[in-house]
């Protein structure tokens, strides 16, 4: 284990895209494992990230909130440098930006397509590259990418989202083959189905009933799978894991 700048043996977990649902749940899960959690969203959402970090502190964990545009190369590089230099060595990095939008193909503008690609694919590349730069010299670390149904199947109306998620999956595959022999575990998690939260409950009138029947993915339950991947021994690493509720069609 590499010592952090303060001389104490600590390890950090960075969650990029620490939203109110899955991102926050992943952050809580790793904090409960004793990692120092660093949580990021765009600067305009910093207050929400700070509130989530405070909730981890209230549970007895340690968390730091950052407002970062994950599409900006300089900001991402500076974030990794700050965490490595002032917080603790990164043991796990989770890229969890969604960018799920729906537009008919004839209504999809180049600006929309490019923005979705920047958020879900290009930002993933920046995060993955910086994570590799930190972890490869130590011959240790875990990099996890959050995928979706669109990672493997493009649905009608989701050309931009599917294109970006396919690209993220390909990035993960390439990185896994390159970094595995360097001691760095790279895995891609396909979240296949609706995730319980304010957004889903606002668009699905029967969401509460589905939750009661365990027919909607729960953020805290998904997060346990991320921790499981991080804990896997290197003799039996998983590259891709898909999770869905028992009733989901696939």
Q: If phi over 0 gives left and psi between -120 and 50 gives alpha, with beta otherwise, what is residue 151?
A: alpha
pLDDT tens per residue across span 110-160:
999 999 999 999 999 999 999 999 999 999 999 999 999 999 999 998 999
pLDDT at position 83 over 70 = yes
Dihedral sign (CA 22, 28, 34, 38) = positive
Dist CA 188 CA 30 (whole Å): 17
Query: Superfamily for 12-243?
Result: NAD(P)-binding Rossmann-like Domain (3.40.50.720)
Q: Phi, psi at residue 126, to the nearest 5°?
A: -60, -45
User: Cβ contacts of residue 241 below 8 Å, gap of 6+?
Assistant: 187, 188, 189, 190, 225, 229
CA 75: distance to chain centroid? 17
Residue 4 is predicted with a pLDDT of 43
**Is residue 37 a contact partner of residue 64, using CB atoms and an 8 Å limit?**
yes
**Is residue 63 a contact partner of residue 76, using CB atoms and an 8 Å limit?**
no
pLDDT tens per residue across span 171-229:
999 999 999 999 999 999 999 988 887 778 877 888 888 888 998 999 999 999 999 99
């Amino acid at each position: 284990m590499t010592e952090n700048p303060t001389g104490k043996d600590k390890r950090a977990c960075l969650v990029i895209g620490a939203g109110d649902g899955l991102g926050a749940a992943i952050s809580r899960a790793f904090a409960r494992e004793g990692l120092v959690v660093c949580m990021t969203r765009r600067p305009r959402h910093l207050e929400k990230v700070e509130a989530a970090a405070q909730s981890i502190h209230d549970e007895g964990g340690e968390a730091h909130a950052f407002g970062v545009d994950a599409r900006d190369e300089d900001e991402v590089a500076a974030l990794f440098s700050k965490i490595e230099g002032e917080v603790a060595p990164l043991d796990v990095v989770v890229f969890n930006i969604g960018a799920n939008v729906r537009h008919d193909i004839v209504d999809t503008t180049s600006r929309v397509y490019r923005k979705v690609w920047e958020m879900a694919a290009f930002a993933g590349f920046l995060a993955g590259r910086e994570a590799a730069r930190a972890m490869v010299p130590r011959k240790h670390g875990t990099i996890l990418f959050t995928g979706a149904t669109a990672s493997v199947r493009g649905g009608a109306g989701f050309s931009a989202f599917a294109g970006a998620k396919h690209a993220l999956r390909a990035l993960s595959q390439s990185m896994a083959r390159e970094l595995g022999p360097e001691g760095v575990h790279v895995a891609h998690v396909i979240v296949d189905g609706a995730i319980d939260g304010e957004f889903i409950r606002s668009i699905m009138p029967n969401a509460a009933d589905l939750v009661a029947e365990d027919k909607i993915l729960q953020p805290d339950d998904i997060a346990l799978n991320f921790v499981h991947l991080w804990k896997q021994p290197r003799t039996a690493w998983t590259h891709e894991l898909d999770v869905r509720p028992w009733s989901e069609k696939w």
